[in-house]
Chains A and B, each alone.
Chain A
Amino acid sequence: MDALQTGMRSLPELLNLQQQLKKRREQQQNYLAVCGDTGCTAWGSQNIKGVFQKCLQQKGLDHITGLKFTGCLGLCESGPVVIVFPQGIFYQKVKESDIEEIVEQTLLQGKIVERLLYQDPLSGEKIIYAPEIPFYRKQERILLVNNWEIDPSSIEDYLALGGYSAFGSVLASMDSEYVIGEIKKSRLRGRGGAGFPTWQKWEECSEMAAAQKYIICNADEGDPGAFMDRSLLEGNPHSVLEGLIIGGFAVGATEGIIYVRAEYPTAVQKIRRALIQAHELGLLGENILGSGFSFNVSVSVGAGAFVCGETSALVASVEGRVGEPRQKPPHLAERGYNNCPTVINNVETLANIPSIISKGAEVYRRTGTEKSGGTKIFSLVGKVRNTGLVEVPLGVSLREIIFDIGGGIKGGKAFKAVQTGGPSGGCLPASMLDLPTDFDELKAAGSMMGSGGMIVLDEETCMVDLARYFLKFLNDESCGRCFTCREGLSRMLEMVEAITKGQSSMAEFALLKELAAVVKDSTMCGLGQTGANPVLSTIRYFAEEYRVHIEEGRCPAGVCRDLIQFQINTELCNGCGACRNKCPVEAIEGEAKAPHLIRAALCTKCGICLETCRYNAVIKL
C-alpha cells in the first residue's frame, strides 16, 4: 500500500488501493463502534473508549477486535451507545463499569449482556441487534449508514467501503454535462431549506465563462434544533468532501471552500483532517490522478451569525466582511466569492452526490417522491421518546417519523404540534400529521422543510411562547439592514410579548397579523421573508390559544409566567421543607412539618419548587 505514503497519480492506483483496503477490512470484521458524537461524548463516551482500549489490551484482544470512535450512531437518547460488530449487538447507556462485562461476556464468550440492551417502550421486549430496533428498522439510512462503520478520522475506512469510487468514475468516464444530467435525473433538491433543484444551480454556474469559479459547502447550520450537518461532517467528512469535489468538477470550479460555523469545533477539526488526508493521497491538488483536473479545498470558519446561512451573506463572511446579505441580482452564479461565479450547496446535498453517481440516478430516485428524490435526515428532538437523527425517504409522513420511529411523546403526554424548518418554518398541529415530508407540501401548509430540524411539542408547550422565542431569536440574528426586518420583527416581538403577559387586545392581534404579512413581503433576504412564519403558522393553527391569552388572560399550557401561579396544596404538603430550602428567592415559608405557603409577591415562577417536591404538593395554576 505504497499509495498511502506517496499519494496516487493515476486511476488504477486508486482502484488498487480500494481493493487492498477492502480486503484488509474483510479480514478484520470484529470491532466495537463507540459513538463519539457530541451527544454521547457528553454522556462520557470518550472515557468509555479509553477504558475499552485498556480492557482490550489487558485481555490481549486488541489485535483481534478493532475499536472505532465513530460519528453519530443515531439514537442519541440512549447514549453512550456501543455497537459490537460483526453481529451488530446494540448496547445503550454504557457506563465505564459495564465495559469489563461486555468484553468478558460478549467478546470472549459470545454472550449478550441483557441489562444493556434496548428495551422497546411499547412492547417491553428487549432487542439485541441494532437494525431490529424500531427506531432504525423504519429508517432508510443511505447517508448515515456508514457512520456505523467508519472512523471519521480514517480515510482508509471510507476507501474500503467504496469511497471516492464515484469521483474515480467521474474522472474516468464522465464530463460536466453528464454529471449535471445525472443529478437532474436524480431529482435531488437542495437540503439547506428552500429545496432548489441542485442541477439547476450547477448548470447556471457551469455555463458561466470565467477563469476562476468557486464551489462553497454551506456548513453554517444555524437552525436551532438541527444537527444533521454537524453529524455528517463529524461522522463521515469524506462523503461531503467527495461530493464537493464532484460538484467542483461539474461546475468547472478550481476551488472549494467549506464554511463551517464556529460553534462546531469538532466538525472543523474533522474536516481539516479529512482535507489533509485527501491531499496526501492525491485526491486533491493539481492534476488529480493524472486526469488534468485540479481542485483545492480550504476551510473557512464562521464567527457566529445565523444570517450567514443566507448565501450572499455567507460569501461576505468568507470574504471577511460583515455578513450582510445583498440584493440579488446579480446572482451568485454570476458574481459571488471574489466576484467570481460561485455555487453554494448544503452539506447534506453534497453528501448525496457520491451515492447518486455510484448508484446511478435511476436507482437513487426510486427513493423519495415524484418531485424530489432521495432521503432526508431529520434531527428529531424535543418532547419525543427517541431523540436522535432519523433518515427517511422524502415523502414519509410526519406521523411515521414521530410515532413509528420516534416512539411517540415522552412521558405519555399528548402530541400538540411539530415545529419544522427552524426560525423560518412553522408549527403543524395533529391534524397535519399525515402530511408527507416534501418541500412543497410543507410549504403549502405554512411551514417548510428547512434544514431538517423537527422539534416535537407536547401539551405543555405554549405556542404563543414558542412564537415569542423565535421572534427573539430572529431579533438577535437579523443583520439589521432592512428596516422592515429590524423594526418589524422587534415590533412583532413586543406585541407577542404583550400577549404572553396578558396585556394585549384583539385589535392589536389583528395588527400583529397585518405587520407579519408586511414583513414577509417587504424584506430583502430569506431571514426576514420567512421570519414571520413562526407567528403566522401558530396563528393559523392555534388562533384559539392566542385568543385565550388575550381575552381570558390564561396560558392553557402553563408556560407564560405572567399568567400562571404556583401554589402549595396544603392537604398534600407534609412540611418537609425541601422546596423552602431550594427556593432561590426565599418566597416559600412555613414551619417544619406544617403545610408551607408560597408568597406570590416574591415568587419568580422558576418552577424549582415544583421540580423538587416529591409529594406533588406544588401545583401550577
Chain B
Amino acid sequence: MINFMLNGLDVAVEKGTTLLDAASFYGIEIPTLCHDEGLSPYGACRLCLVEIGEPGRSRLVTSCTYPAEEGLLVRTHSQRVVNTRKVIIELYLATCPSSKVIQDLASRYHVTQVRFQQKHDNCILCGLCIRYCKEQMQGKAIGFVNRGVDRRITTPFDRKSEECRFCGGCMYICPACQARCQGPAEKSAVCNACLNLSPPCLDHFGETMCYLDPCVACEQGRQK
C-alpha cells in the first residue's frame, strides 16, 4: 500500500492507483472530460489537475495519469487548482458551449462568465472516441491528424473508414455531442440554468476535507 496525504488526510491506496482514482475512492470529486474508467488515461483535458508537493515548491499535475507516491502531498481543491480549473472551464465554454457536459461543469464549478471570444466548435479533442474505438472495439477507424491548432479527429484520408463497424461507440462516449445543452442563448455562452438546481458549493479548501457534495454548509465558500 502507498500512504500519502490527500487534502490533509492520511490515506492509503494500492500501488499503481492514480490520484484521480484515489480521490474518487475517498469521495472527493475531481472533474474530468477526457477520462473514462474503461479506457487508458490520456491527460489532455487538464481539468483533473491537482496540486502536489510542499507548498512553495508545488506543481500541478493531471490526477488521471499521476500515480500515488509514498508521502506525496496532494491538494485537490487548493486556491491554485480551483482558479486554474475555473479558467479552463471558461475556455471550454468559449470553445464548445453546446455541450451539456461542459455547461453542467460550468454550473457546478461556478463559472458564470465567459471573457474570451465566443467560438462554436463541436469537438474538444479529448480523444475519448479514438480510445474507445481502439481499446474497446479493437478498431482504428478514427484518429488525430495534424497538430497544434489544426489538430482534428478524422478517418484515414478523410474518407469512410473500412475499419469502422458502425458500433456508434464514438458518439456514445463523446462529451461534446452526446447531449446538447438547450440553455445558452445566442449572445451568451453560459447557460447556468442548472445553478438554480444545485446550490453552489464552496470554491476551495486548503487542507480541510468537505464530505458534502455539493457543499451547502460552508458560508466562507459561498461568499467567494
Contact = CB atoms under 8 A, between A and B. Distances in A.
Interface stretch (A361-369, A514-522, A581-589): A514-522
A488 B92 CA distance: 10
Interface stretch (A453-461, A478-486, A594-602): A478-486
Contacts of B66: 327, 329
B165 interface: no
A112 interface: no
Nearest to A518: B87
Given A521-B84, A522-B46, A494 B149 contact: no
Interface residues of B, number: 33
B134 to A, nearest CB: 14
A522 B125 contact: no
A477 B148 contact: yes
A150 to B, nearest CB: 38
B120 to A, nearest CB: 14
A478 B148 contact: yes
B222 interface: no
B147 A305 contact: yes
A511 B147 contact: no
B92 A483 contact: yes
Nearest to B42: A481
Contact of A483 (B61, B83, B124, B150): B124
A491 B62 CA distance: 22
Nearest to A514: B87
B44 A522 contact: no
B67 A486 contact: no
B79 to A, nearest CB: 12
A479 B91 contact: no
A327 B147 CA distance: 18
Nearest to B49: A522
A491 B117 CA distance: 8
Which bracket fits the contact residues of A?
Answer: 20 to 34
Contact of A515 (B44, B49, B87, B92): B87
Interface string B70-111: 000000000010011001100110110000000000000000
Given A476-B148, A477-B148, A483 B125 contact: yes
Interface string A499-526: 0000000001001001100100111100
B184 to A, nearest CB: 18
A101 interface: no
B115 A521 contact: no
Contacts, number: 84
A19 B61 CA distance: 56
Chain B contact residues, majority secondary structure: mixed
A489 B116 CA distance: 13
A486 B125 contact: yes
B128 interface: no
A478 B149 CA distance: 8
Contact of B88 (A480, A484, A511): A484
A322 interface: yes
B146 interface: yes
Contacts of A524: 43, 46, 62
Contact of B44 (A329, A483, A490, A518): A483
Interface string A282-326: 000000000000000000000001010000000000000010000
B87 A483 contact: no
B144 interface: yes
Given A480-B148, A480-B149, A480-B151, A491 B65 contact: no
A122 B44 CA distance: 55
A313 B97 CA distance: 32
A484 B85 CA distance: 10
Contacts of B150: 480
Contact of A482 (B44, B67, B83): B44
A439 B46 CA distance: 29
B148 A518 contact: no
Given A475-B148, A486-B149, A524-B43, A494 B117 contact: yes
Nearest to B92: A483
Contacts of A518: 83-84, 87-88
Interface in B15-72: 43-46, 49, 60-62, 65-67
A486 B151 contact: yes
Chain A contact residues, majority secondary structure: helix
Nearest to B91: A487
Contacts of A322: 144
A249 to B, nearest CB: 32
A524 B45 CA distance: 10
A480 B146 contact: yes
Contacts of A327: 43, 61-62, 65-66
Interface string B101-143: 0000000000000011100000011100000000000000000
B60 A522 contact: yes
Nearest to A479: B147
A469 to B, nearest CB: 15
A477 B80 CA distance: 28
A426 B81 CA distance: 26
Given A494-B117, A522-B88, A482 B46 contact: yes
Contacts of B83: 518
A475 B148 CA distance: 6
A484 B46 contact: yes
Nearest to B80: A521
B44 A491 contact: no
Contacts of B61: 327
Given A327-B65, A486-B148, A521-B60, A491 B91 contact: yes
A506 to B, nearest CB: 13
Contacts of A486: 125, 148-149, 151
Contacts of A515: 87, 91
A17 B144 CA distance: 54
Most buried by B among A486, A488, A491: A486
B117 A523 contact: no
B39 to A, nearest CB: 15
Interface in A110-139: none
A523 B148 CA distance: 13
23 contacts: A327-B62, A327-B65, A329-B66, A476-B148, A478-B148, A479-B148, A479-B151, A480-B146, A480-B149, A481-B44, A481-B125, A481-B151, A482-B44, A483-B44, A483-B91, A484-B91, A490-B149, A494-B117, A508-B115, A511-B116, A514-B87, A518-B87, A521-B80
Interface of A: 305, 307, 322, 327, 329, 475-484, 486-491, 494, 508, 511, 514-515, 518, 521-524
Given A478-B147, A486-B151, 10 more contacts: A327-B65, A475-B149, A478-B149, A480-B147, A484-B46, A484-B88, A488-B91, A491-B117, A494-B117, A515-B87
Going nearest first, the 8 A-B pairs with the smallest beta carbon separation are A480-B151, A327-B65, A478-B148, A518-B87, A480-B148, A490-B149, A484-B46, A327-B43
